[in-house]
Structure 1
C-alpha cells in the first residue's frame, strides 16, 4: 500500500468535483473522502447539498463502507432524507489503489426535493401514490453528531431505553453499530457509552464480546 499513490489519486480528483458541479448545477454536490482519517474525511467538496466543508466528517453511509474494508463495493443511485428534510439521490464510488486497497470514496449527491415534490403533484393529479419511507441519513462536519444520530436511531428502533434491553438486544445493538463502521472512528466507544448512559468499561466489554463471538465474559455494571 502506497500512501504516495493514494495521495496522488485524491489530488487528481480534487479539480474533478468542481467540474462535475459546474456541469450538473446548483442542486449537485460532489465530495472526495479520505478514509484514512474518518473524523475529517472530506478532502475536496463542491456544491452545498449537505452543508459540509473540507475537513468535515463522513456520513453514516461512508462509515458503513469503511467497515467493509477492501470488500466494499460501489453504492449507486440510492435515495435518503437528510435531517432537515431534503431528499438526496446519491452514488458512492469507492477509491482503490493499485493493490486493491480501499482508501476513500467519490460521492455525488443530488438534491431532488423539488423534483420529488413536482413528481408527487403530478402523481396526485394522475391518481398515483407518492413514494414514502425514505431512510434518514445524517450529514455533518462533526463526526460526533453523526455517531450520536446512529446510536439514537438504534434506540428508537428498539422503542425502549438501554436499561430495559435484554443482554442479547444490547449485544445486537453493539453488533449493528460495529457493522456500520461506528467503531472505526477514534473516540467512538467512549462517545457511544456516554450516549447510552453506560460506563466505558461496559461499552468496551460489549464490543469485545461482539467481535470475539463470546457470550461468557463477566459484564461490567452499566
Structure 2
C-alpha cells in the first residue's frame, strides 16, 4: 500500500461521519489523484450518482489538477453539478494535502437537490400568486446548463462527456475543421485535463478525424 493511500484512508471515517450527519441524499467521495482513471477509493451513498470505488475522476477534478487551483485555496464550496440521470447537486470539494503541503487527494460532497429545486419552484409559484403548474418532470428535470461538474462513472464516460461538450460548441463537422480550428479544440481539451487520462489522445484523435501523432504535434505547438 502506498504512503499516499495510507494517508488518505485517515479521511474515510470523516467521509462516513459527514454522510451520516447530512443523510442518504449526500454522497461523499474520497479521490486519490495519483490515478485519475480510477481515482475513487472511498464513497458513501454512491447510489445517488451511480458511481463506485474504482471509477474515474470528474471533469471538474481534471480541470482543478490541470489549473493547479489548489495552491491558492483549501477548498471550493457550493457549486452546481449534474448527474447522468439529470439530477442536480450542490457540491463542494476539499483539497487533501499531506504533511509537506502536496496535494494527494480530494474529498467531495454532492448533495442531491433535484427534488428541492422542484419544491422551490412550486413555492415560488405560490408566493407570486401565479397558477400552480407542476414541473414538466419532477424526477428527471433538465440538466442545468450552468453546471460546473458532471458526475459520471468510468474514464471512458468522462472522456466522452468532455470531448462531446467541447465539440458541441461548433456546428462544423470534425472532418471539415481546419488545422487551426482543431488546434484550438485540442488546446481547450488540454485545459480541461483530457490528456491526463491514458485514453485521451486516442479518443481525441478519433473525434477530430486525425492521427494520434497529429494530436501530439498539436500539443507540442501549445507549449
Give the TM-score normalised by the residue count of structure 2: 0.84
For residues 204 and 128 of structure 1, the distance between their equivalents in structure 2, rounded to whole angstroms, comes to 59
CA spacing shift, 1:128–1:66, aligned 2, 3 Å: farther
The answer for the alignment partner of 1:71 in structure 2 is: 71
CA contact (8 A) 2:175 2:209 kept: no
CA spacing shift, 1:128–1:99, aligned 2, 3 Å: farther
CA spacing shift, 1:153–1:90, aligned 2, 3 Å: same
- How many equivalent pairs are there? 207
The answer for the alignment partner of 2:83 in structure 1 is: 82
Q: Give how far 1:137 is off.
A: 4.0
SS of the equivalent of 2:80 reads strand
The answer for the alignment partner of 1:143 in structure 2 is: 155
Q: Give how far 1:168 is off.
A: 3.2
CA spacing shift, 1:128–1:53, aligned 2, 3 Å: farther
Cα deviations by residue, 1:89-125 (Å, 9 ceiling, x for unpaired): 1001111112221121000000000101000111122
The answer for the alignment partner of 2:110 in structure 1 is: 109
Residue 121, structure 1, aligned to residue 133, structure 2 = no
CA spacing shift, 1:137–1:68, aligned 2, 3 Å: closer
The answer for the alignment partner of 1:61 in structure 2 is: 60
Q: Give how far 1:173 is off.
A: 1.2
SS of the equivalent of 2:151 reads coil
CA contact (8 A) 2:174 2:207 kept: no
Residue 204, structure 1, aligned to residue 202, structure 2 = no
CA spacing shift, 1:18–1:188, aligned 2, 3 Å: same
CA contact (8 A) 2:60 2:148 kept: no
CA contact (8 A) 1:72 1:102 kept: no
CA spacing shift, 1:62–1:98, aligned 2, 3 Å: same
Structure 2: where are the runs of 5+ without partners? 136-143
The answer for the alignment partner of 1:100 in structure 2 is: 101
From 7, 10, 25, the counterpart of 2:8: 10
The answer for the alignment partner of 2:138 in structure 1 is: none
Give the TM-score normalised by the residue count of structure 1: 0.85
Cα deviations by residue, 1:16-43 (Å, 9 ceiling, x for unpaired): 2222111111110000000001100001
The answer for the alignment partner of 1:160 in structure 2 is: 172
For residues 157 and 208 of structure 2, the distance between their equivalents in structure 1, rounded to whole angstroms, comes to 14
Q: Give how far 1:181 is off.
A: 1.2
SS of the equivalent of 2:198 reads coil
CA RMSD of the aligned region, Å?
Answer: 2.2
Cα deviations by residue, 1:124-154 (Å, 9 ceiling, x for unpaired): 2233999x64337432331111011100011
CA contact (8 A) 2:79 2:148 kept: no
For residues 8 and 81 of structure 1, the distance between their equivalents in structure 2, rounded to whole angstroms, comes to 31
The answer for the alignment partner of 2:141 in structure 1 is: none
